[in-house]
Structure 1
Amino acid sequence: MTSSAEHALPGAASSPLVDDFLAWTLAGTRPAEHETSEAQRVCANGVRWTWLDDGVLMMEPAEASAPIRSVLVSAGVHGDETAPIELLSRIVADIAQGRAALACRLLVILGNIDAMRDGCRYLDDDLNRLFSGRYLQLPGSHEAPRAAALEQAALRFFAAASDAPGARWHIDMHTAIRASVFERFALLPHTGKPLSRAMFEWLGDARISAVLLHTTKGNTYSHFTAQACGTEGCTLELGKVRPFGQNDLTRFTGADLAVRALLAGTRVNVDRDVQADADPAAAMPRVFTVIDQLTKQSDAFELLLAADVPNFTPFAKGTLLARDGDYRYTVRHDEERIVFPNATVKPGLRAGLLVIDTTAETLPTLV
């Protein structure tokens, strides 16, 4: 594979750290003192970069309008979800070499690095269930210190961010374990605030087909930043889990272009904007709202579904979906869809979400 440095624009400074941030991070390399000097931390177009920690990199444009947007883009919170990790590393390289524009403060985070190295989802505990301080309940977990470190990285970054509406964003990119009726979908954290039209339009630009609205606070990274940092946040599910080097990144073009546009302060294309002006709903994803969840109470828990049932599979009223001792879950609405069914989670954790279509009620309320 040809390195980014071989295609550097004239005048662009080169550093292995930003030319291949993924390889640098997986190798466990730390920059030498001379590599973090002011001179070495300036790349193409005057963009300044600062290595903050393993898998944590800040990039800032040479000139900033006021108020400047601050964007956190994370990937690899689950170590085996490799395509978004590769996409994010490529975006860093393209910014560093001047092939992609940066008009905002950017914090890049590669999440569970040890799990990335081992090619697994996590070592002890699901990192994306340990935020908002839940890691304090599992002090012996391998993932607990990483959850604490990523919380602090976000808090420090957004402490210097503008408080203007729409100035704080967090895009947390994932891929799903199983297939989905909607291959690309997003989950929005519950904040109690009105839903953002700008976020929904951005998700439409990213070719996201469906949005899942949480109705209670959670322990995911995007929940944490929304609550603690005031971000417009989302978790993106962009396809299937595959090992490093086995991803067809063309399948992720929508999200790739949308993230690049967000960082550049632009939109993906004019045609989609024209379509949205003519019919705002045409460019918007479908909306589903969580109405219940399946919780694994014991090792007797059973999901009465095929092991490979896709996310967003619909079930009719009266269908028995799960049981655990005396507990039963039966579909109550005319149609409910299941998302993230997983009978193998530890007792006490979520084994599935139940959602209903609320598109017609939700889109008119966006602000």
Structure 2
Amino acid sequence: MTSSAERGMSALLGDFLGHTLAGTRPAAGDAQGVCANGVHWTWLDEGILQLEPEAVAVPASSGRCLRSVLASAGVHGDETAPIELLSRLVRDIAEGQAALTCRLLVILGNVDAMRAACRYLDDDLNRLFSGRHAHVPNSHEAPRAAALEHAATQFFADASSAPGARWHIDMHTAIRASVFEQFALLPHTGAPLSRAMFEWLRDASIAAVLLHTTKGNTYSHFTAQACGAEACTLELGKVRPFGQNDLTRFAGSDKALRHLLAGVEGDAAAPLPRVFTVIDQITKQSDAFELLVAADVANFTPYEQGTLLARDGDYRYAVRHPEERIVFPNPTVKPGLRAGLLVVETTRETLAGLA
């Protein structure tokens, strides 16, 4: 006979997304348990679930190099495809259909925005990390940013500090189309770039990597800087409502994440992604701001030297290099925020310098 705790576990792990959107919280005695293959699971908070293989009953201080992976999605509430991927991954681990050989923390980020089918309610959650949430204490997103920081620091506090033991994969979808449909962004911490990360991105069928050159306030920057994680932000296609995603389009990243969790190596024969480095950004300074690119221009669209891309009062941005590509053009952001990134290709020198 199936107990109520077992039925609760089946509902939670079988449909983690549905459980989260419904806002149901497990009773105190039902917030943890064991599922297929001896995997231990713990519901920590709304949209936050930790899973550990049976063999992980060893403290990090023992010196064993056990990988710890934070997989997050939904930091923007309308970016639904990776949220659905993570929910399906939890189900497959629970049912023994996906192998887990490492510690795993699954996070669905902006749950209230997910319920409202919008990007965010007051402020872009992915601009509120590394303590920036303290500057907007009345924002609906501020407490969630603090909670996600806490979840990450607690998770990685128990992780091995060996090279390559800490990972954070933060999955998003883009507002607009892209020359490279699926690409990654790596935060800037000053540390050497990781060959292991580039090889994982290759396994994920990521076509291009964007390198930041300044510190930011994204979730992946926070985990890289504050937690020592090898972190990336993935852009996996376009924003669509729940239930309208063709998840087969994201098979590469889904496969690579499952490989990472199972300790399986990827295909070393495939080429590494192309690399682009940020050289400037367009900043919206006032409501008079004009972004002089088409409303439907794709990410990574190239522009020739001298092309005027933006103006705002006395402010002008014109292309200075022989070719610059624009990424994340968005004239609707609040004044003071980034309205676009400018990048140049640096594939050869970047790949030559990987550690």
Q: TM-score range by the shorter chain?
A: over 0.9
For residues 1-367 of structure 1, what are the structure 2 equivalents within 5 Å? 15-36=10-31, 41-64=33-56, 66-268=64-266, 272-273=267-268, 275-276=269-270, 283-367=271-355
Give distance in 2, aligned partners of 1:228 and 1:193: 13
- CA deviations over 1:101-126 (Å, ceiling 9, x no partner): 00110000000000000100000000
1:67 deviates by 1.1
Amino acid at match of 1:143: E
1:21 deviates by 0.5
Give distance in 2, aligned partners of 1:129 and 1:36: 31
Please tell me whether the aligned partners of residues 61 and 102 of structure 1 are also in contact (alpha carbons under 8 angstroms): yes
Please tell me whether the aligned partners of residues 8 and 26 of structure 2 are also in contact (alpha carbons under 8 angstroms): no
1:33 deviates by 2.7
TM-score by length of 1: 0.92
Please tell me whether the aligned partners of residues 31 and 44 of structure 2 are also in contact (alpha carbons under 8 angstroms): no
Please tell me whether the aligned partners of residues 162 and 168 of structure 1 are also in contact (alpha carbons under 8 angstroms): yes
Give the aligned length. Answer: 345
Over the aligned positions, Cα root-mean-square deviation in angstroms equals: 1.5
Identity of aligned residues (%): 76
Give distance in 2, aligned partners of 1:289 and 1:323: 23
Amino acid at match of 2:336: G
- CA deviations over 1:267-314 (Å, ceiling 9, x no partner): 24xxx32x25xxxxxx20000000000000000110000001000000
Amino acid at match of 1:292: D
Matched position secondary structure for 1:315? strand
Matched position secondary structure for 2:306? coil
Please tell me whether the aligned partners of residues 214 and 289 of structure 1 are also in contact (alpha carbons under 8 angstroms): yes
Which shows bigger deviation, 13-22 or 291-300? Answer: 13-22
- CA deviations over 1:72-118 (Å, ceiling 9, x no partner): 00000000000000000000000011000001100000000000001
- CA deviations over 1:236-269 (Å, ceiling 9, x no partner): 000000000000000000000000000111124x
Matched position secondary structure for 1:234? strand
Matched position secondary structure for 1:259? helix
Gaps of 5+ in 1: 1-10, 277-282
1:13 deviates by 10
Please tell me whether the aligned partners of residues 13 and 42 of structure 1 are also in contact (alpha carbons under 8 angstroms): no
Please tell me whether the aligned partners of residues 187 and 235 of structure 1 are also in contact (alpha carbons under 8 angstroms): yes
TM-score by length of 2: 0.95
Give distance in 1, aligned partners of 2:273 and 2:237: 16
Give distance in 2, aligned partners of 1:243 and 1:28: 19
Give distance in 1, aligned partners of 2:102 and 2:288: 50
Give distance in 2, aligned partners of 1:12 and 1:265: 30
Please tell me whether the aligned partners of residues 40 and 51 of structure 2 are also in contact (alpha carbons under 8 angstroms): yes
Please tell me whether the aligned partners of residues 13 and 97 of structure 1 are also in contact (alpha carbons under 8 angstroms): no
